[in-house]
Amino acid sequence: MFAEITSLLDQDVYTQNGIFVGRVDDAVLDPEKGVVSGLALGDVNKELFDQKGKGIIIPYRWVTAVGDIIIIRHLTRNAKAEHKDG
């Protein structure tokens, strides 16, 4: 999946089931491989994540589609609890 890094910024991120996850604030790059390795999200859905800081970073491998919005694999409703345990 190829996309300009700037086209990812300020995109809304949703799960495959249509649940809002957050908004892309920045891209995390892997300079050795020259690829995007993650997305830094702000304005995160507090029902999904127990957010202590400003945002979260999700692995780019979760991304399934990039267009007018970004779609990622569906997270469980227990993502908040799983995030604490992991």
Q: Which residues contact 40 (CB under 8 A, 6 or more apart)?
A: 24, 25, 26, 27, 28, 55, 56, 57
Give the three-state DSSP class for 7.
Answer: helix
Gap between the Cα atoms of 41 and 21, Å rounded: 8
> Domains in the chain, please, with CATH?
5-85 (2.30.30.240)
Q: Are 75 and 18 in contact (CB under 8 A)?
A: no
Q: What pTM was computed for the model?
A: 0.78
* Digit-coded pLDDT (tens) for 34-79: 889 999 998 898 888 776 767 899 999 999 999 999 999 977 655 5
